[in-house]
Amino acid sequence: MFAGFLPTPAAPGPHPRLFAARFAGSETTANRTYVFDAPDLVSGLAAAGYHTACVGGVGFFSKGGALSSVLPGLFRESHWEPEFSVASPTSFEAQVARAEQVVAGTPAGQPLFLFVNVSALHQPNWFHLPGAKRKAGDSWETHAAALEYVDRHIGRLLAAASSRRRCFAIICSDHGTAYGDGGYTGHRLAHDVVWTVPYTHFFLEGP
C-alpha cells in the first residue's frame, strides 16, 4: 500500500493510482498520480519535507523483532504500546489520544503524514459486544460491535487531522475477515470476503 497499491474497485480497470513509486512501465500511473523517487510513500513524503508519524496497532508495529520493526522504521516518529494492540478493549481511544499528541507536537508550518493502524476490528474483537464470552470467540456480531466502537471515536481523529490545515484522508482496510463464509474462518485465505474491503478518500477542510 505504501508503494501506491491501494484497494481498487472490482470493476475492470485500469484504475489510476493516487500515488506511486517511480517505476518504468507502470500502467496505472497517470498524469495526476503523485510520483515519488523513493521505495515507499513515507520516505517520498519525508524527502518532500513532511514529518512522518505512525500510531501502530497490530503486532507488525510492535518493534518486538526484526519483522515488527520494518513498518514503524519507515517513519521518523513511531508509536506502539500494548494499549494500542488487538488485545486492548480501548485500543482505538488510546491510539486517537496519541495521534492528537502527535498533531499537537508538529510545528504548524510543517506538513504532516500521519498513519494510524486501527487494531480494534482485528481478532479478537468479542469483548466489544456486551455480554459476549471469550469462549464463543469472534463473530459477525462482535465485528460489527467493534466497528461501532471505532465509529464512536473516529470523529476525534479526523478533527485532530484537520486542526492545522486542509487534510487529505484515506480510510481503508488491508483485508476482510471470514466468519464461516463458505466454511472458512479468519483472513489468511483467498475468499471474496477477505479480498473485498471498504475504501474511501476525501478532503477535510482546515480551520
The parent domain of residue 22 ranges over 1-41
Residues 6+ apart with CB under 8 A from 112: 50, 51, 52, 53, 102, 103, 106, 164
Average pLDDT over residues 31-35: 96
Q: 3-state class of 44 per DSSP?
A: helix
Q: Are residues 72 and 2 in contact, defined by beta-carbon separation less than 8 angstroms?
A: no
pLDDT tens column, 131-154: 999 999 999 999 999 999 999 999
Are 37 and 55 part of one and the same domain?
no
Statement to judge: residues 34 and 125 lie in one domain? no
Same domain, 143 and 96: yes
Q: What is the 3-state secondary structure (H, E, C) of 52-120?
A: EEEECCCHHHCCCCCHHHHHHHCCCEEECCHHHCCCCCCHHHHHHHHHHHHHHHCCCCCCEEEEECCCC
Q: Is the same domain home to 71 and 132?
A: yes
Q: Is the pTM of this model over 0.85?
A: yes
Whether the CB-CB separation of 146 and 91 falls below 8 Å is answered with no
Residues 121 and 70 in one domain: yes
CATH label of the domain that carries residue 140: 3.40.720.10
Between CA 99 and CA 121 the distance in angstroms is 18
Q: Are residues 149 and 56 in the same domain?
A: yes
Task: Judge if 27 and 55 occupy the same domain.
Answer: no
Mark whether 75 and 34 lie in a shared domain: no
Which pLDDT tens digit goes with each residue over 47-91?
A: 999 999 999 999 999 999 999 999 999 999 999 999 999 999 999
Task: Tell me what pLDDT residue 206 has.
Answer: 87
- Does residue 19 have a pLDDT over 90? yes
Torsion sign, CA atoms 99, 105, 109, 110 = negative
| Same domain flag for 34 and 127 | no
Number of domains making up the chain: 2
